[in-house]
Amino acid sequence: MLFRIEGARCRISRRDLLEIDLLEVAAGEHWCVFGPNGAGKSLLVDLITGRRPETGSYVRFAEGFDPVRDILQVSFEEQQRLWRRDERLDISDFSENAQDQGTLVSALIRAALPAADQDENRYRKLSADLDLTALLNKGIRFLSSGQIRRALIARALYGQQNGRSRLLVFDEPLEAVDRDSRSRIRGAIAAQLGPDCASLHLCRREQDRLPHATHLLVMDNLRVLESGAMSEAGWEQAAKRFRGRRGSAPGDVPRYPGVTRQATEPNATMIELRSVNAGYGDLRVLRDLDWTMAARHHILIEGPNGCGKSTLLSLIDGENHKGYGQEVFLFGRRKGSGETVWDVKRRFGVVSNELHNRYVQGWKVLDVVVSGFFDSVGLYDDSGASERDHARAWLATLRIGHLANAFYHQISFGQQRLVLLARAMVKQPDILILDEPCVGLDDYHRDFILETLDVIADKTPTRLIYVSHAPGEMPACINYRLRFKAAADGGYQLEQSEI
């Protein structure tokens, strides 16, 4: 046995209580923890890892098992923690070349084992299997979400074979990664899990189940519904339990009083890029890029991890200074011709992994949404009753109105994603940028978000730019595609087409 939970009752809020009667996990067992958003899966992991105050009361670990040392996690929360640490320790302002790589991929992976236990052959093989060899000397702050996902998986797998029993926690390991990476991750996990370790695979969607699972734990509404050895019959019954849940969109969306945005003539140019380039150091990410977005377009951007999708978005929404001094035109005006960065931001709403990472502890959900009026991370400006009422209306539209007074960092990752959509839409932007908005969402909430985006496209002048790795996962309103494809010289070329 690695750990045992018995009779756990954890107060989450005045109305919510996490209940776990009995869960015992031993070395060699690999559990699929299955359930929708809000089921309690992440709270279970928090209890096991000591991030809940009740851990000492309800969790018993095997002799010699140290949860700080012997639990290795792959999760969006862990990505956020690492990103924030490197941001906090950034010394680029004091370096000669104004760059601080922060934690290198190689250091992240090797940190899973003490120096005496390092195994060079396994390290190299895992790096190759997960397509990380070219990234080993790159800082994790400069990776795409999918790339850092693979690095965390490599760290977990590398650290589990050193003669000590360890627990590996994979929270949706296939999220935010491209198709090739999904195949690599499945293969690496299946090949590397050994008999001395145990694992928990948190899974929201039945198609993301990993084949190595030996046991099944089903959760919903903060309770364990089923647990035991995995069987196909048991899995089918569990999947069927949630299969019928489908989210339906609202019939309309809120309008902010006093703000009216007129629909633009369909062929009017909203964004135009002429021979635009972007890179980091010696790496050229975008090369001589030409692209025009007309007012009639709702754009889908596709491409593998690290191809430049997020860089392209940052050039137009004001986040990336490399857009200045180039022929980047926004709403008929060349970028950098007298407008402020706030003038640019005012016309864009954004949902992205980078923005998600920036919200730390201490903010209430309502404050996060209201901050969208001011394009700030957190609420530092005086907001009036009308802003807060409109923010509440958006939370209610997205079916999370009950979370308005909850702390943002205490709600689930998927719920946080919905909060960011409300934040992006409160100011009624001209363009809504959605960088993998369905990451962390179960089927119910994915359907709900996609249909809601169609309502936004139909009922408001807001145009969409949508980034996705999942085939077929896009709003029905999408009518133009940008696809990054590998080029013969090792970079990427951009294919454009009407849909």
Domain membership flag for residue 255 = no
Pair 445, 307 in one domain: yes
350: left (phi over 0), alpha (psi -120 to 50) or beta: beta
pLDDT tens column, 136-151: 999 998 888 889 999 9
Same domain, 71 and 107: yes
Structural domain count of the chain: 2
Asked whether the predicted pLDDT for residue 258 surpasses 70, the reply is no
- For residue 260, pLDDT over 80 is answered with no
Q: How far apart are CA 314 and CA 94, in angstroms?
A: 25
Q: Report pLDDT for 54.
A: 95
pTM reported for the whole predicted model: 0.85
Residues 318 and 392 in one domain: yes
Residue-level pLDDT at 381: 63
User: Among the listed ranges 135-144, 261-270, 460-469, which one has the minimum average pLDDT value?
Assistant: 261-270
Contact 278, 311 (CB under 8 A): yes
Residue 485 has pLDDT above 90, yes or no: no
In the predicted structure, residue 412 carries a pLDDT above the cut 80: no
pLDDT bucket at 261, cuts 50 / 70 / 90: low
Distance CA 355, CA 337 (A): 26
Say yes or no: 45 and 149 in one domain.
Answer: yes
167-192 tens-digit pLDDT: 999 999 998 888 889 999 999 999 98
Overall average pLDDT of the 480-488 stretch: 85
Output the pLDDT for position 262.
Answer: 61
Stretch 8-13: mean pLDDT: 89
CATH number at residue 358: 3.40.50.300
At residue 401, does pLDDT exceed 50? yes
> pLDDT per residue over 111-131, tens digit each?
999 999 999 999 999 999 999
Kindly state whether residues 226 and 312 are assigned to the same domain: no
Is position 201 within any domain? yes
Residue 257 domain flag: no
| 61 close to 3: Cβ distance less than 8 angstroms | yes
Are 226 and 123 in the same domain? yes
How confident is the model at residue 313, as a pLDDT?
85
What pLDDT is attached to residue 93?
47
322 shares its domain with 411: yes
- Using the 3D structure, point to which of 201, 228, 243 is the last residue of a domain: 243
Which among 465, 410, 409, 462 is positioned nearest to 437, based on CA atoms?
A: 465
Question: Which of 228, 243, 258 is where one domain is finished?
Answer: 243
Q: Output the pLDDT for position 98.
A: 47
Q: What percent of the chain is modeled with pLDDT above 70?
A: 92
Angle at 217 between CA 213 and CA 223, to 5 degrees: 160
Look at residue 333 in the predicted model and tell me its pLDDT: 86
The phi, psi pair for 333, rounded to 5°, reads -125, 135
pLDDT reading at 466 higher than 80: yes
On whether the CB atoms of residues 424 and 372 are closer than 8 A, the answer is yes
> Are 468 and 474 within 8 A, CB to CB?
yes
**236 and 303 part of one domain:** no
* pLDDT for 379: 62
- Mean per-residue pLDDT for 381-410? 87
pLDDT digits (tens, 9 = 90+) for 66-116: 999 999 999 988 888 888 888 777 655 445 554 667 899 999 999 999 999
Cα R_g (the chain), whole angstroms: 23
Q: What's the rounded Cα separation, in Å, for the pair 422 and 237?
A: 35
Q: In 86-204, where do the E strands start and end?
A: 167-171, 198-203
Evaluate whether residue 256 is within a structural domain: no
Mean pLDDT in the chain?
87
Nearest by Cα to 429 from 372, 358, 388: 372
Which pLDDT belongs to residue 166? Answer: 92
Spatial neighbors of 227 by CB under 8 A, at least 6 apart, are 23, 215, 216, 217, 218
What secondary structure letter does DSSP report for 407?
B
* Residue 47 shares a structural domain with residue 126: yes
Give yes or no: residues 343 and 217 share one domain.
no
Summarised one tens digit per residue, pLDDT across range 192-220 is 887 889 999 999 998 899 888 999 999 99
Q: Does 86 lie in the same domain as 34?
A: yes
pLDDT at 4: 96
Tell me the residue range of the domain where 395 lies: 269-498
Q: Which tens digit of pLDDT belongs to each residue from 273-312?
A: 998 887 666 666 778 888 999 999 999 999 888 788 888 8
Q: Would 117 be classed as within a structural domain?
A: yes
Asked if residue 258 is part of any domain, the answer here is no
Same domain, 152 and 204: yes
DSSP state of 170: E
Bigger pLDDT: 225 or 414? 225
Residue 347 lies in a domain: yes
Q: Is residue 348 part of a domain?
A: yes
